[in-house]
Amino acid sequence: MSSTVRHPLLSIAPAKLRPTQLTVGKAEVAAKRAQWKQLGRKKRKELLASHWFPGVLGPKQHVYIVDHHHLGLALLEEDVKHVPVMIQRDFSWLVPDVFWRTMEFNRWAHPYDRHGNRVDYGAIPAGLAGMADDPYRTLAARVRMAGGCAKDAVPYAEFLWADFYRRRLKLPGGRIGAKALQEALLLAHGHDAAYLPGWSGMIE
């Protein structure tokens, strides 16, 4: 089977989607659930139509999503029955080890745990509900939304920011207060962050 075959838009239950990362920011998931609850039926349909999930067919025809993990988990927790998935590549004929190496080579997999440590591919959960919370991932997202850095197309950019903060800020109980966010914003504009995607420069 050719790995370049493109498939039509599929309709798949969130419970059947497989993640390609181990963690999410659960606060972001909660925010997306709150947004979903505020939408009427028409707006919900429009949101789903405009936020299809990019996916890859893996071994045993499982569908792995390579983006929108927070939205996917939010919709799963909201009992949404089906979501649109656009299959980018068909790697279903590969054995698991080769599949995961190929996914990582294409920057479609992020095998790192909530402490920022590299783990075996087998540690990636089989379902979206199995992803762990990484508060530093949420912190990175809040810094971006507050203008601390620019949104960047580099895959897993916010994970790099999360690891940056993990080494510099303590978040007791995983909580992100105003003080922690202010410190994070200051760090975002420091020279130490200059290597990160979306860095917006130092503030004079």
DSSP structural state of residue 23:
E
Q: Quick one: angle between helices 157-166 and 178-188, nearest 10?
A: 110
* Spatial distance between the Cα atoms of 31 and 128, rounded to a whole number of angstroms: 17
The DSSP-derived string for 86-155 is EEEEE-TTS-HHHHHHHHHHTT--B-B-TTS-B--GGGS-SSGGGPEE-HHHHHHHHHHHTTSB----ST
Position of tokens 């294409």? 106
Phi-psi region of 24 (alpha: psi -120 to 50; beta: other; left: phi over 0): beta
pLDDT band with cut points at 50, 70 and 90 for residue 204: low
DSSP structural state of residue 199:
B
pLDDT tens profile 102-158:
999 999 999 999 999 999 999 999 999 999 999 999 999 999 999 999 988 888 999
- Domains recognised in the chain with CATH numbers: 9-133 (3.90.1530.10), 135-193 (1.10.8.10)
Closest among 177, 183, 145 to 164, alpha carbons compared:
183
* Spatial distance between the Cα atoms of 128 and 126, rounded to a whole number of angstroms: 7
Percentage of the chain lying above the pLDDT 70 cut: 96
pLDDT band with cut points at 50, 70 and 90 for residue 7: low
**What is residue 8's predicted lDDT score, i.e. its pLDDT?**
72
